[in-house]
Amino acid sequence: MENAGYFFAAFAIIWAVVFGYVMFLVNKAGKISRQMKAIEEARPRRDQA
Amino acid sequence: MEQNVFRKYWLAVLGVVLILVALWMVFLYVPTVTQDGHPFAQRIFYFHVPVDWVAFLSFFIVFIASIAYLRTRDRKWDNIAHSSAELGIIFTSLMLLTGMIWARPAWGVYWVWDPRLTTALVLWFIYVAYLLVRSYAGEEVRGARFAAVLGIVGFIDVPIVALAIVLWRTQHPAPLVFEGGLDGKMMATLMVSLAAFTCLFASLLRVRFSLRKAEYLLRSIEQE
Amino acid sequence: MSTLGKALAITRKDILSEARSKEIVFSALIFAILVIIIFNFAFGADQTSMTLVAPGILWVTFTFAGVLSLNRSFVAEKEENCLEGLMIAPMPREVIYIGKGLGSLLFMVVIEIIALPIFTVLFNVSALSLPVIVITLLATIGFAAVGTLFSALAVNTKARDMVLPILFLPVVVPVIISAVKATSLALTGSGWSDLGSWLAILGAFDVIFMVVSFWVFPFIVEE
């Protein structure tokens, strides 16, 4: 199989980039989750006051 | 409850299945093409073309969503456009990268002024501008409006860019990233790969869209 | 006052203020001539290489001079708050587009009228022929059509001057490609039939983008 290296390079790059983007999305989801939790914790105190 | 779970994930599941099938086809099923003397690398084609198609599809979505946004001013459309453009840049970059990786074994150089690659390069710049204009504009709503304009103008520009480059190329023939016919197995592999990448794109778009929606919500809560 | 009349009034205002300050035409012109001279030194070894690079250099020159003049045409409005004045005036926003567009077109044409003969002399090419003039005109119309839209956008952003090239140049790539190729064919003596398809692209771009920019302009300047 000639030039298999190039083929795998292309293959690897595609999936590396896609995976990277998915990680970016996962991070964002985590950040949003944390912010929502912070707001949730702040709320009950407001209701009581 | 079970039906709900299925509805939520069907696209992703379909995508994964298609990707696996496509991988099998590209690696094992499809016969090797011997015409350009670099047999195995030619298989990049089965990834390059679908990536190409997805990039174009995402910018078409940006175009439609931009028009809808300017008409309705509903932020949902801006969300779709923005998310689609984000994905579009990624896939256009992938298209350029895979094109370059393919060009190296095929012609010994990393770049060829192939119509599709050159158009993709210009497209890349136009959509970088689309993303940049949002931060340049200073405030969000204005940024969304400017970006929508760019999304419309940019998309209309693409056929003209492609036309000019194709015309230039017929006067200066240069290596083409793809030519020749496809036999049955190759066509089937290409189609499956196309479907797989489209599903991938659709799933990612969906996720990005709902994440952005959550961001909007959070921001409006924080501003209270 | 008719729509065209209102647009021309805006154009006239631009011409008058420019005639007094001579800002735009002057700086763009100096820039164009400087670029031509510098490139001449960079490439000017023998006549064959000069004829080869001439079209590209000509259009790089016109492109950058064009960006300069487009930048300045709206900056003046913003600084003097004229833009608000124009918006309050009882006319559809598209009229502002036509008026400013015609003004920019005129300024670019003036620059080109002066730069082309200089170019002809320095590069020793027959750039004053009818084909080249037609190409230049068609390309400039396309430039002005899209450029006016984008400079109205750019002026409403934070980093004004830098923004315009980034936004605008990728979109006008087909104009520049067609202009360079067509000019190159014209300078080597090709006939009108060879130029045909390039002129068609230029013409199509002009028409399409005059319409699209006209339609989309109000969204840029709305409050």
Give residue B173's pLDDT. 61
What's the pLDDT score for residue A20?
Answer: 92
Give the CA distances from residue C116 to residues B148, C55, C122, C136, C172, in Å, rounded to whole numbers and listed in that order.
38, 11, 10, 10, 21
The fraction of chain A above a pLDDT of 70, given in percent, is 82
- Asked which of B3-12, B16-25, C100-109 is least confident by mean pLDDT, the reply is B3-12
Nearest to C152 by CA among C142, C165, C164, C140: C164
Secondary structure (3-state) at C208: helix
When mean pLDDT is compared across B159-163, C12-16, C131-135, the lowest value belongs to C12-16
pLDDT digits (tens, 9 = 90+) for B136-149: 887 888 899 999 99
Q: Do C174 and B164 touch (CB under 8 A)?
A: yes
Q: Do chains C and B touch (3 or more CB pairs under 8 A)?
A: yes
pLDDT above 90: residue B125: yes
Torsion sign across C-alpha atoms C223, C73, C79, B132: positive
Chain C residues with CB within 8 Å of chain B CB? 146, 149, 153, 156-159, 163, 166-167, 169-171, 173-174, 177-178, 181, 197-198, 201, 204-205, 208-209, 212-213, 216, 219-220, 222
| pLDDT of the residue at B2 | 55
Instruction: Give the pLDDT band (50/70/90) at residue B209.
Output: very high
- Contact: A14, B98; criterion CB under 8 Å: yes
The pLDDT confidence band at residue B182, using thresholds 50, 70 and 90, is: low
Max Cα distance, chain C (Å): 59
Q: Does residue C1 surpass a pLDDT of 70?
A: no
Per-residue pLDDT for B96 more than 70? Answer: yes
What is the number of CB-based contacts under 8 A between chain B and chain C? 82
Most confident of B34-48, C13-27, C145-159: C145-159
The pLDDT of residue C64 is: 86
Nearest-neighbour CA in chain B from C98: distance (Å): 18
pLDDT at C27: 79
Q: What percent of chain C has pLDDT over 90?
A: 26
> Is pLDDT above 60 for B180?
no
Q: Using pLDDT thresholds of 50, 70 and 90, give the confidence band for residue B91.
A: very high
What phi and psi values does residue B38 have, to the nearest 5 degrees?
Answer: -130, 70
